[in-house]
Structure 1
């Protein structure tokens, strides 16, 4: 059975890029969300094996959403996606429980490596 993944990013084209990389590599994208609040709802609904989470989003940012997801499931696997120059936020995310992070623009091999490593 393919691993179920929730893709969270406020930019539709970024969600499309990640989804494309994942589906080509045998992962199943079960849902997408455009902000942290939507991510929480989708997480509760779909119980994905892994979440890719943008850091900077409207409504609720990725770090806040990560913390809320960790309250629901302390073992949740979340990989943060950040733009260059967001190192401080990446550190916050790792301290909040993120398993890894990938930097935009995405490189397919790095995305797959991070997800495969996180899923074990």
Structure 2
């Protein structure tokens, strides 16, 4: 699969786990960033079809990045990955244009269903 994915997640184990799942699902170009600054550098260098975005990063609020990404890259899909699945988080990120919300720890079947729903896998 030639869709490029950027994982923005500060916890290394979670980043690697999400990358492993995406590899299992057939994604071949996967980059990662552990904070907002690294994510900005990656986005300036490459065009991504999907960003898997943590809401709690060490240098910036993920909701701020979501808002920025949707303005700068309107065709890029953004899926939120957070351990805090509250009604407020889900509703606010949905209202800001997120294409989905996954609760950490990420579940393979839920990720697969969501990626299918947004048209990235069959």
- The question of a shared fold, defined as TM-score above 0.5 by the shorter chain, is answered with yes
Q: Matches of 1:79 and 1:87 in 2, distance apart?
A: 16
* Correspondence for 2:115: 115
Looking at structure 1, the residues matched to 118 and 83 of structure 2 have their Cα atoms a distance apart, in angstroms, of 20
TM-score by length of 1: 0.89
1:8-60 CA-to-partner distances (Å, cap 9, x unmatched) read 11101000000000001101243101122322221222211101001111111
8 Å CA contact 1:19, 1:29 repeated in 2 = no
Q: Which runs of 5+ in 1 are unaligned?
A: none
Contact 2:4 2:49 in 1 (8 A): yes
Runs of 4 or more above 2 Å deviation: 84-87
Q: Unaligned 5+ residue runs, structure 2?
A: none
How many residue pairs end up in the alignment?
A: 120
Q: Using the alignment, how far apart are the partners of 1:78 and 1:53 within structure 2?
A: 7
Question: What's the CA shift for 1:118?
Answer: 1.6
TM-score normalised by structure 2 residue count: 0.88
Q: Which residue of 1 aligns with 2:23?
A: 23
User: Displacement of 1:102 after TM fit?
Assistant: 0.5
* d(CA) in 1 for partners of 2:118, 2:44: 20
Question: Closer, same or farther in 2 for the Cα pair 1:45/1:86, shift >3 Å?
Answer: farther
Counterpart of 1:103? 103
RMSD value, Cα: 1.6
